[in-house]
Amino acid sequence: MDSALDRPIGSGRLEDRVRGGMRVVVVVSDSTRAEPRDAMLRAVLSRLPDSTSVRVAVASGTHRACPVDELGIGDDLLPRIDGWILHDGADAGALVLVGTTRRGTPVTLNRAVLDADLVVATGCIIPHYFAGYGAGIKSIFPGLGGSREVRINHELKSLPGARAGVVDGNPCREDLEEVVDFLAAPPFILNLVLDDEGAARAAVAGDVKAALRAGAALCAPLYTVRAARSRCVVVSGRGPITASLYQASKLVAAAAPLVEDGGTVVVVAECWLGTGPLDVVNRGIFEIGIRPRLPEQHQVLLVSSLAPEVVAATYCRYSPSLADALASTPGPVLVLPRAGSLLCEAME
């Protein structure tokens, strides 16, 4: 991270942009993302004068507000932080309308973003099924945006080009990046590229657009896999992505290019936090964002801790176990144990 901060892309160094007495907001991800928040926050703070007022904003986007004790931030850092912004995308009183994008997305942001002299956004660049990659501007919008307005942007996921691994020409990503034009000062980012084991393989810093693209180019080879299409694709993942169907749906999106017509996706996810909001899961995620990627004939089975009647209200069919799911889907099986971050390509 130090080398990335020493040589930022498309921007001056962070320490050269900050003067004593400035108000800086550092953005970190919420607990639905498995990221080294503490390490990134320490790297940023090491470049800021002690006289800088630093608040930390937790980018929860459309998720629930995330408590500080879920973030894994060391107690020794707490005295350096002047305040925490636990973003709630449904809290209209904390949101300000800053503009409307060319595609018609109204942009509301947490007031703390507008009150800051500089916003420093941290995050990890991994494939994202419709925004191309995570991190970059996503830490600010949708991370610190209003839920309703974020979902308007997410409607763009149905358009061609809104796919994992696509940055330029991706309507969703390009819509998000217009947010930069509404800010008084260009944000500065520190983003990591993690491998499949969660280890940092690279870091980029600087301009929110240029640095993201440099990191995406480093990320793509780590996550691209090619395989023949299969009648049965089993998907799962680690950590937060299997906590709810809202998150685990990303596993289905990743596997979609590898499912044969008439095939089955088996989602193995405990879903200990439940389904998530059903209207969003069934329509906003599946109908708009995932169904168009799947073959016309398909089924999705869910192996989880959820009761059959709970699963019946979702786009999935209930299966009591992986063995039962496989027994009902004869033929070769393709297993993607960490599907959420993969860039899958079908071998023709």
Distance CA 26, CA 157 (A): 28
Q: Where in the chain is the domain with CATH 3.90.226.30?
A: 228-346
**pLDDT, block means (10 residues), the chain with 348 residues:** 95 91 92 84 93 91 77 87 90 94 96 94 92 94 93 91 93 96 93 86 96 96 94 91 93 94 96 94 92 94 98 98 91 90 86
Say how far apart CA 307 and CA 305 lie, in whole Å.
Answer: 7
Strand, helix or coil for residue 126: coil
Three-class SS state of 321: coil
What 3-state class would DSSP assign to 343? Answer: strand
| In 118-277, alpha helices (H) | 147-154, 171-177, 210-223, 245-255
Predicted pLDDT at 50: 86
Third-level CATH fold of 2-223: Rossmann fold (3.40.50)
- How far lies 13's CA from each of 3, 118, 348, in Å? 11, 13, 46
Its pTM stands at 0.85
Quote the tokens at residue 247.
Answer: 């998150």
- How is the beta sheet containing 333-336 ordered, strand by strand? 317-318, 298-303, 259-268, 230-235, 333-336
How much is the pLDDT for 102?
96
Which residues of the chain are in CATH 3.40.50.11440 domains? 2-223
* pLDDT attached to residue 197: 77
pLDDT at 73: 86
The CATH class given to the 228-346 domain equals: alpha beta
